[in-house]
Amino acid sequence: MKRVLVTGAGGQLGAALCEAFAGEDLVALTHADWDVTLPAPPGLPAPGLVLHAAAWTDVDAAEDDPQGAAAVNIGGAQHAAALGAPLVHFSTDYVFDGQKRAPYVESDSPNPLSAYGRTKLLSEAAAGEDAWIVRTSWLFGASGKNFVRTMLRLGVERDEVAVVDDQRGCPTYVGHLAAAVRELVELPRGIWHLAADGECTWAELAEAVFEEAGVDCRVQRIASSELGRPAPRPAYSVLRSERPRAPHLPHWRDGLRECMERL
Ligand SMILES: NC(=O)c1ccc[n+]([C@@H]2O[C@H](COP(=O)([O-])OP(=O)(O)OC[C@H]3O[C@@H](n4cnc5c(N)ncnc54)[C@H](OP(=O)(O)O)[C@@H]3O)[C@@H](O)[C@H]2O)c1
């Protein structure tokens, strides 16, 4: 049995990783247990594997406080790497600019549009050459703050919701990602794209949520410019792996069904 240390264990991915690695000697650390902008607290038992899921994930707030986001995302990765154990670090589709119209693979050049994306790209370097860098996208799970849970709440409150229809990506269920990470740690280190099969826009995802939940709520398809959020997002950020042995994740619609069974 391996000692597996999970940072950000209170987040949606952290919680899923704790479930997937429950058979190991698990050390689950929430934000309260370890603020990763600081070095690890003294007395932490030496881990055999670190799953670093703590991060600044508020994409819009990072525009106003890029240094705060950098302290968590870049500083946190450095501190996680300093534990000296094999490290799985999580990054994002937002390292790409979305100009491509075919799936992004590991060898494509990043060009982040937002402060959040820039901190995540730098965090990949901070995690070091000896880490697994997992780029994933549009995460949702049965806990935490995410698009699926927000839509379910709005869907019962309103007759119609306005949702952007000009961003295309891979909505990924954290349970499926956590299972893929179990496979990944048997494979060579480096950058890996791990996202759900299939692709859609946020509006299409909202429609699927309402369909699966049997909620009668219309989706008004709007442009990102109409929403006017502070951080620019890539218009297209579908992730696929070009690596022959990459773990394969189920389709996002299957992830949505599995997630909703747990809500
Ligand atoms: N969410 C997405 O759509 C998405 C997409 C692509 C990649 N990712 C990446 O996937 C990873 C996991 O994301 P997630 O969706 O699980 O995010 P999440 O639900 O927001 O969880 C992040 C966790 O990090 C904790 N945290 C924040 N600042 C911290 C600090 N200074 N020290 C220690 N913990 C801190 C948060 O705690 P508090 O809430 O208490 O602050 C939270 O529990 C991140 O690396 C993220 O960049 C996410």
Q: What tens digit of pLDDT does each residue of 103-132 get?
A: 999 999 999 999 999 999 999 999 999 999
Find the Cα–Cα–Cα–Cα dihedral 185, 196, 135, 182, rounded to 10°: -10
How many angstroms separate the alpha carbon of residue 9 from the centre of ligand 1? Answer: 9
Q: Distance between CA 233 and CA 254 in Å, rounded?
A: 25
Query: CB of 219 within 8 A of CB of 150?
Result: no
pLDDT recorded at residue 246: 98
- Buried b or exposed e, range 10-44, using 16+ CB within 10 angstroms: bbbbbbbbbebbeebebbbbeeeebebbeebeeee
Pocket test for ligand 1, best of 78, 139, 174, 191 (most atoms within 8 A of CB): 139
Q: How far is the CA of 58 from the centre of ligand 1 (A)?
A: 8
Q: In this structure, are residues 8 and 31 in contact, taking their beta carbons and an 8 Å threshold?
A: yes
Which entry of 94, 104, 116, 236 is annotated as an active-site residue? 116
Query: Is residue 17 lining ligand 1, measured as CB closer than 6 Å?
Result: no
pLDDT at 248 over 90: yes
Tens of pLDDT, residue by residue over 220-241, are 999 999 999 999 999 999 999 9
State the DSSP string of 55-89.
----TTHHHH-HHHHHIIIIIHHHHHHTT-S-EEE
Q: What is the pLDDT of residues 130-173, one digit of tens each?
A: 999 999 999 999 999 999 999 999 999 999 999 999 999 999 99
Average pLDDT (5-33) is 98
Q: How high is the pLDDT of residue 141?
A: 98
Nearest-Å Rg of the Cα atoms of the chain is 18
pLDDT in tens, 25-76: 999 999 999 999 999 999 999 999 999 999 999 999 999 999 999 999 999 9
Q: Which atom of ligand 1 is closest in space to residue 139's alpha carbon?
A: 3
- What mean pLDDT is reported for the chain? 98
- Both tokens of 242, joined, read 């070009």
Is residue 116 part of the annotated active site? The answer reads yes
> What φ, ψ does residue 173 adopt, rounded to 5°?
-80, 130
Specify the ligand 1 atom closest to the Cα of 54.
24
Measure the CA–CA gap between 143 and 122, rounded to whole angstroms.
28
Q: What is the pLDDT of residue 142?
A: 97
Q: What is the per-residue pLDDT for 26?
A: 98
**Gap between the Cα atoms of 185 and 132, Å rounded:** 8
Question: Are the CB atoms for 69 and 55 separated by under 8 Å?
Answer: no
State mean pLDDT over 170-191: 98
Regarding beta strands 139-140 and 132-136, do their DSSP bridges make them parallel or antiparallel, or are they unpaired? Answer: unpaired
Read off the pLDDT of residues 197-227 as tens digits, 9 standing for 90 and up: 999 999 999 999 999 999 999 999 999 999 9
Atom of ligand 1 nearest to the CA of 14: 16
Return the H-helix or E-strand segment holding 179: helix 174-184
The residue type found at 161 is V
Residue 1: pLDDT band (50, 70, 90) is confident
CA pair distance 137, 205, nearest whole angstrom = 13
Q: Is 119 in the pocket of ligand 1 (CB under 6 A)?
A: no
